[in-house]
């Protein structure tokens, strides 16, 4: 379910959070689904359990999961709504700034759209792997 790119500059806990977001948006994670236990995921990925705990803390903070003492973490019923609200509030402005930068740098609207189309194709391929 989760994989780590050890050559990435993105911290491991952020990779886990990003992958959880993609899994939720793609429907591979659904409301009520359990997250892997901290220990088992840490062992599977070969990382410190504190790293997994940090990722799970971030997922809780984003409103995607809820922790049940003694039982683990689960995807919240409103996780999709919480994630979409977070993305609209935090990531959409970054995306708009990226597109604005492309236009300022001289790219045409068609070139910017082609770039976004290519990104979407890449994302779709990743989701199908």
Other CB atoms within a 10 A radius of the CB of residue 41 amount to: 20
Q: From 71, 70, 38, select the one nearest 57 (Cα to Cα).
A: 38
Q: pLDDT by residue (tens digit) across 14-52?
A: 999 999 999 998 889 999 999 999 999 999 999 999 999
User: Distance (Å, rounded) from C-alpha 82 to C-alpha 63?
Assistant: 6
Query: pTM for this structure?
Result: 0.76
Q: pLDDT by residue (tens digit) across 53-109?
A: 999 999 999 999 999 988 999 999 999 999 999 888 988 899 999 999 999 999 999
Which SS3 state, helix, strand or coil, does residue 67 take?
strand
Q: Tell me which DSSP letter residue 106 carries.
A: T
Band the pLDDT of 116: cuts 50, 70, 90.
very high
User: Distance (Å, rounded) from C-alpha 59 to C-alpha 80?
Assistant: 12
């Amino acid at each position: 379910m989760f994989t780590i790119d050890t050559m990435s500059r993105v911290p491991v806990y952020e990779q886990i959070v990003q992958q959880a977001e993609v899994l939720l948006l793609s429907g591979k994670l659904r409301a009520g689904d359990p997250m892997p236990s901290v220990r088992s995921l840490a062992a599977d990925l070969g990382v410190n359990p504190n790293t997994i705990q940090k990722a799970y803390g971030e997922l809780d903070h984003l409103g995607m999961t809820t922790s049940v003492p003694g039982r683990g973490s689960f995807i919240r019923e409103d996780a999709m709504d919480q994630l979409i609200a977070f993305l609209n509030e935090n990531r959409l402005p970054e995306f708009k700034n990226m597109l604005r930068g492309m236009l300022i740098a001289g790219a045409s609207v068609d070139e910017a759209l082609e770039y976004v189309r290519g990104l979407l194709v890449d994302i779709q391929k990743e989701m199908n792997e």
